[in-house]
Amino acid sequence: MTEIDSIIDNLYFVYQPIANIRTGEIFGYEALIRGFDKLGFKNPHELFDYLSKNNLLFKVDIKLREKVILEFLDNFSLGHRLFYNLDSRIISDVNYKEGETIRILQNYNVPKNLLVFEVSERFSVDKASLSAIIKNYKQQGFELALDDFGVGSVCLETLYRLYPNYLKIDGFFINGINKDFTKLSIINFLNKLCSKLNIKVIAEKVEDKKIVYVLEENEIYLSQGYFIQPPSKIEQKKDYIELNLDFKRKSESENIQIKLEQFIDDCYTVSVDDNSIILYEFLNNNHHEIEKPIVVLDQKKHPIASISAKKLMKTFNNSVLKSLYFLRRDKKIYDLNDLFEPIVFIDLSKNLDFNMIENLLENSDKNYFVISENLKFKGVIHYKNLLKLVLREKLLEAIDKNPLTKLPGNISIKKYIDQNLNNQEEFFAVYFDFNNFKPFNDYYGFRRGDRSILMFSEILKSNFHSDNFFVGHVGGDDFFLGSKDIDYESLYSKVKFVVEKFNHDVISLYDRDDIEKGYIVSRDRNGVERKFEFLTVSAAIVYIPKGKKLNQSVLDEIIAQAKKEAKEQKNIFSLCVY
């Protein structure tokens, strides 16, 4: 057995998925090499250093490529991309031969665009060799991913020179983004930049549910890491989609918790059992902290009061009070209760909503709010940051509202569906869609078209106004109704009434001559003039039973089918998700 054969026999691959956290679907897998320890190497880089020095790099690597492509064939047929790490020194190997990878792919009928080569400047010998290999592989029609972006020398200059198809943001910037506003700002900048350059962003080392939530909220959907799924052998990863259907969903309370954590500041804390001299020492050494409160904790580390640093400073400046409070060894913090001030705290373990936080802001004169979790102290949030959070949410809510009907839009509709899916509650999703709206709008003009939309929205609101219902406006002539705590027969009866009432009332928007004819003449979507019946509305009722685990993308497909059936029937179509 040759040395090359021995190396190939000992090496194998594990695969870590790159998933779309919005849909739960797999985009591709990164192939990670294993077995190098059996050959006496500590990591893959030592192995490839050895191969490069001994002019074995190309011969070994091309055999590894064939091995991984053959192993991955079933996944190629599903449209999954294979991300393969490329050593930029390969192009300088004396045995290098162009076109070998294309030959392998052609042998197995694999499209070139499904093999993505990952390159990194972190381990590259020089920029010239990296640029050369990028140019070479691009000319052959392969897609490329720039790995480890943001660390070492892998910077914006590298992005400019290499112009990859994918940008993999290093885990340093992903770790802790739910608490680090600076990292989040950098990632948002990169995501917007790459969007303009038509480069897909992939977040690496995603290892926490809260990070997934923040990434999804900031529209960074492609993610990779142990939370998504650890690297596994080819035969162990087939159930990935089923096992991770609802990892991305969150409640409103969790959403608020994540946003609050980004603004938490540290502050000085004292225990009720501490000697009061520590406050004297604190004031002597931390004049810059005077704006923040000092939080008093009980024996269980629960926040019970605050002490104003400013008031302490005044007390400190009074020699009599200083001697009384701070310079006596027998004085404990709990003896200073006349200096205690009540605290307003937000506990992250409770069910939180923005109305509650808004009420706190309106009814409190505090500059800081104490943050706890299960009553244990976590930090403080300044009034201005809490106000900023609420105002941002109010702005999003205002932006989401339809300007014509003032009904909640797609963000609120998605949140309603996600919460019910997350809680596995029984609910109905009803979608309303006008029939013959375009010819009506073209014939009479947008003002009368708007009147028909307003007419229907008022009928909806007047008939579904209790807490059991949620009415939303998808856009144009599409509306949404969410319903809970109601049986199917009662809901169907109410939907039927709304459909029939609109179909009757909307005739009043037609001119008398057209009413007498019973139709209008307008152009269809192909520009052909023909007769059109009066406006009507169809409804698709989708029932989701209690305890049903369902992926949002699967539900979207079911809803689309139900809407299509309702549209074709120009009536009410019902469907149950089993």
Domains of the chain: residue spans and CATH? 3-246 (3.20.20.450), 260-389 (3.10.580.10), 403-576 (3.30.70.270)
CA nearest neighbour of 278 among 268, 287, 288: 268
pTM reported for the whole predicted model: 0.59
- Distance between CA 311 and CA 78 in Å, rounded? 67
Task: Indicate the angle between helix axes 44-53 and 57-71, nearest 10 degrees.
Answer: 130
Query: HSE on the CB side for 153, CA within 13 Å?
Result: 11
Instruction: Kindly state the tokens that stand for 276.
Output: 């009061």
Q: Residue with structure tokens 């979207």?
A: 556
- Distance between CA 346 and CA 543 in Å, rounded? 37
Kindly give, in sequence order, each residue whose CB lies less than 8 Å from that of residue 203, ignoring residues fewer than 6 positions away: 169, 174, 187, 211, 215, 220, 222, 223, 224, 225
- Distance between CA 506 and CA 514 in Å, rounded? 13
Encode the chain (578 residues) as per-residue pLDDT tens digits. 688 888 989 999 999 999 888 766 788 999 999 999 998 999 999 999 999 899 999 999 999 999 999 999 888 877 889 999 988 888 888 898 888 999 999 999 998 889 999 987 655 556 676 777 788 888 888 899 999 888 766 678 888 888 899 999 999 999 988 878 889 889 999 999 999 999 999 999 998 888 888 888 788 989 999 888 899 887 665 444 433 434 444 556 667 777 788 788 888 888 888 877 777 777 777 777 777 788 989 888 899 898 887 777 777 676 666 666 666 666 677 777 777 888 888 888 787 777 788 888 888 888 888 888 888 888 888 888 888 888 877 777 777 889 899 999 988 898 888 888 877 888 999 999 999 999 999 999 999 999 999 999 999 999 998 888 999 999 999 999 999 999 999 999 999 999 999 999 999 999 999 999 999 998 887 888 899 999 999 999 999 888 777 666 677 788 888 888 888 887 788 777 75
pLDDT tens profile 276-312? 777 777 777 777 777 778 898 988 889 989 888 777 7
